[in-house]
Structure 1
Amino acid sequence: MLNKFAIAFVLVCAFCSSSWAQEDENPDDKKEVKTPKPEKLKVEAKNVFAEPIDPLDPARAAFYSAVLPGLGQAYNKKYWKIPIVYAGMGIGIYFYLDNNKEYKRYRSAYKSRLAGFTNDEFYGTINDDGLREAQKTLSRNREISLLVTIAIYALNIIDANVDAHLIQYNVDDNLSVTPHYKINEFDNKGDLGITVNYKF
């Protein structure tokens, strides 16, 4: 009986001494395995200097072009567009005035014929039907010239407005739009799309 206790006691002491030895070894192992702390992450931000956006700039440019054609383009510093605006409007006005002058000539001759006179400049070369057709054609051309002039005037206003918008458009390197093509995993078909990335 005493032998059994003695053997059990020796086993317990041996077990305890081995566990103490392991506990003593572990702190040393932890010191050796210890990894160095990672350094703090440093982020260097670039200094981006952007002009402040004025939301009234497009409206102001359009107003200037409405008051005086080409003034909105000058406000946007697109001076090369001013001659184009005036050339387009000048051509439209020239054709309007020319067609109007010719219309009045044919109209006066036709009225003279209706009054019974035979001394108009077209007498003997153009009959009454020809005078009527010429008036219709010249009247239509006059209206087209007027519409073209008004359209160029309107385009001058729209151009100034759009240019003012585009001048303030964000073209920062941090903003990118890229097209991409991806195979859909469900139906095995290709999908075409656009990815918008913004880097903070």
Structure 2
Amino acid sequence: MNKIISIGIFLFILGNAAVFAQVKTPAVPAAKDSLKSNDIDPLTPAKAAFYSAVLPGLGQAYNKKYWKIPLVYGAMGTSLYFYLDNNKKYHQYRDAYKRRLEGYTDDDYSYLDNSRLIAGQKFYQRNRDLSALVTLGFYVLNIIDANVDAALIQFNVDENLSVKPVIYPNDVTFKTNVGLTLNYSF
């Protein structure tokens, strides 16, 4: 019973969140109503994707989603930090191994044998490559987010189309039922 009530409350909040987020616009005269279809610009998603490709976060600024810009730079900056750190450690292990092959034993890793130096190189090289892929993934995700967000902004969301949760009692068993209603008015 608690599960059904919590699901019902969740669906009620979910259904009403869209209603509360909508802004009421004043009635538009019939002459301007025909111009409403011209407000859709098919190049807006392409512009947003291009801006994000040129400078990460610029597409989010173009879409006026400023709160996403720190997320983009945080994700890319963190993965770039790990790339640089793993690259530095990889080069330290590689240089120590090269010096070991030349006969020097006065490096920072004198307590490690050759097999440990090779294993350290492989470990940090793998992590460096993985960090580079994650950085590239966040860059591509930034572009896709700007493109999709620009496309979704253009959708007309009004009260004629709504999905609302409904909680109603079952007539036979008197148990509470949870459901969704889809309303579309022409």
Q: Is the 8 A contact 1:59 1:161 kept in 2?
A: yes
- The structure that is helix-richer by fraction is 2
Q: Is the 8 A contact 2:160 2:183 kept in 1?
A: no
Q: 105, 108, 124: which one pairs with 1:138?
A: 124
TM-score by length of 1: 0.64
CA distance in 2, matches of 1:80, 1:160: 13
1:150 to 2:131 alignment: no
TM-score by length of 2: 0.69
Equivalent residue for 1:105? 92
Q: 85, 106, 127: which one pairs with 1:119?
A: 106
Equivalent residue for 1:175? 161
1:73 to 2:60 alignment: yes
CA distance in 1, matches of 2:92, 2:129: 17
1:173 Cα deviation from its structure 2 partner: 2.3
1:178 Cα deviation from its structure 2 partner: 7.4
Q: List per-residue Cα deviations over 1:4-60 (Å, max 9, x = no partner).
A: xxxxxxxxxxxxxxxxxxxxxxxxxxxxxxxxxxxxxxxxxx637647111110111
Equivalent residue for 2:28? 47
Q: List per-residue Cα deviations over 1:74-130 (Å, max 9, x = no partner).
A: 00001111111111111111111111011101000101111222222211x111111
Unaligned runs of 5+ residues in structure 2 are 1-26, 166-179
Q: List per-residue Cα deviations over 1:167-199 (Å, max 9, x = no partner).
A: 1112122334679xxxxxxxxxxxxx9967340
CA distance in 1, matches of 2:39, 2:77: 37
Unaligned runs of 5+ residues in structure 1 are 1-45, 180-192
Greater Rg over alpha carbons, structure: 1
CA distance in 2, matches of 1:144, 1:163: 28
Equivalent residue for 1:87? 74
CA distance in 2, matches of 1:169, 1:105: 54
Q: Is the 8 A contact 1:176 1:198 kept in 2?
A: no
RMSD: 2.2
- Greater RCO between the two (CA within 8 Å, min separation 6)? 2
Q: When the two structures are aligned, how many residues end up with a matched partner?
A: 142
Task: Single out whichever of 55-64 and 167-176 deviates more from structure 2.
Answer: 167-176
The one-letter code sitting in structure 1 at the alignment partner of 2:28 is: N
